Amino acid sequence: MVVDTRNVVFFTVFFFVVHYLLIRWREKIRNSTPIHVVTVSEMAAIITFVGSCIYLLLYFGNTLVHHTHFSDDEEAEETKNHAAIGCKFDVLLTHAEKKEATTGEDEEVIQAVVSGKTPSYLLESKLGDCNRAVFIRRVALERITGKSLEGLPLDGFDYESILGQCCEMPVGYVQIPVGIAGPLLLDGMEFSVPMATTEGCLVASTNRGCKAIYVSGGATSVLLKDGMTRAPIVRFATAKRAADLKFFLEEPLNFQNLASVFNRSSRFAKLQKIQCAIAGRNLYIRFTCSTGDAMGMNMVSKGVENVLEYLHANFPDMDVIGISGNYCSDKKPAAVNWIEGRGKSVVCEAIIKEDVVEKVLKTTVASLVELNMLKNLTGSAMAGALGGFNAHASNIVSAVFLATGQDPAQNIESSHCITMMEAVNGGRDLHVSVTMPSIEVGTVGGGTQLASQSACLNLLGVKGANKDWAGSNARQLAKVVAAAVLAGELSLMSAIAAGQLVKSHMKYNRSNKDISAKS
């Protein structure tokens, strides 16, 4: 940066004479000397002050006029220089350029984070600017670890939308490609199913299953149950007292009072049933309730807290150990979910015509029936599977979950599925079904509100809460998930039966890029 010596001189003179005149003015006030009576030195200071003001006004005026007449190249260079000295970050700058363009103020905060004086998690509240907080956290992390995050996108994301509800201490976001399988004909309606995945062949395979279902007349689905669960654990001094509470909770006459207390948590919360299990003097209480279009974990947890507080009146010796005792069971494979269900329980079926099996799926009905029995049923039983009587339900569930903003960890219980295949119509056609007892989805809350995920929900026609029939959007999404799983099961099983699995994955799931020279 080139510094004009004249500017330095005039700025110095300007501030010196202002300081001198202020001192003289204060002395005259103290001595009761008339202000209009001036000495030679005061007159010289006044003249110098006026001259300095004229010069500075002309200088800044010319600079402003000159700036408005820059050529395109000069203007671009000036913009770059202003960013370099930290006036404001341009959203078009790359991450590397932004690191070079840190302002003195940003640099001070970065150093405070690196040194540990400012906790990284406080940046959003401290700065009041989510984008700036993410940038500073990211630069600080790179300096602390000595590792570059180049390649992890920073710009183009609304970080304010995740504050306090989706992700803490963000430093960027991960890009996952979204493919479309369909049209999927389900219950007389067509759906284009968004699938976020990095596995080649998955979308193509599911799409083939959708085609087979479509040309065979479509799939039919039935919602069997709809209830989210939470199971706290409470303890008493004796097993007898734990049993007393169990009998109290299971008494039909007490249910209405308990439901009234539970339902205060939300206008959408409706307690459906209470199921208890005892282990010594410990009691596990599994509450099940409907939750509208929300997945509902927070809703049911709040309702459980209301009931536990109410129960203390009759059972003051009850000790609440935890709001969740794993009898729910959330984000873990559990027989209780496989048997009792959690979230939405759905069965989806279709009859695939013989010619479709042969022409679209490239196999035979008999081969699919035999493979399903030996692989999905017998093979899974030999492995001691828990809810895993299917080919790859979790593949489709995960992809749709990621695309629509569901909790990806709940893929564990949501992928519980038994796939059935039987020959019908004299052995000519194939009846295929998937039964999924614990699909945990919502269309409001969590990641569903993010722009990309919201767009995918909108594509399916289930975005947000249904104002006319609470919960119908989430239930429809669960049916779509089950139908997509049906399509995926049908296609993968056909590929295995026809001996095409390895060939397909070698074609679609392997990169042709030469990465030998890359680290």
| Residues known to be catalytic | 199, 331, 407, 505
- Say if residue 329 is preceded by a cis peptide, omega within 30 of 0: yes
Identity at 355, one-letter amino acid code: D
Q: How many whole angstroms separate alpha carbon 180 and alpha carbon 207? A: 8
Q: What is the separation of C-alpha 371 from the centre of its chain, rounded to a whole number of angstroms?
A: 37
Look up residue 241 and give its two tokens.
Answer: 């007292």
Nearest to 203 by CA among 177, 227, 226, 224: 177
Contact 86, 103 (CB under 8 A): yes
Q: What interhelical angle do 393-404 and 472-497 show, nearest 10?
A: 140
**Is residue 183 reached through a cis peptide bond, with omega within 30 degrees of 0 on the bond before it?**
yes
What is 135-179 written as a DSSP string?
A: HHHHHHHHHHH----TTS--SS--GGGGTTTT-SS--------EE
Residue of 222, 231, 255, 237 lying closest to 436 (CA atoms): 222
Q: Are strands 220-230 and 319-322 parallel, antiparallel or unpaired?
A: unpaired
End-to-end CA distance of the chain: 38
H or E segment and range at residue 492? helix 472-497
Positive or negative: CA dihedral 420, 421, 422, 424: positive
- With 0-12 CB in 10 A as exposed, 13-18 as middle and 19+ as buried, what is 317? exposed
The number of helix segments (H) and strand segments (E) in the chain equals: 20, 11
Burial (Cβ within 10 Å: 0-12, 13-18, ≥19) of residue 322: exposed
Amino acid code (one letter) for 232: P
- Distance, CA of 294 to chain centre: 14
**3-state secondary structure string, 36-94?**
CCCCHHHHHHHHHHHHHHHHHHHHHHHHHHHHHCCCHHHHHHHHHHHHHCCCCCCCCCC
The SS3 assignment for 199 reads coil
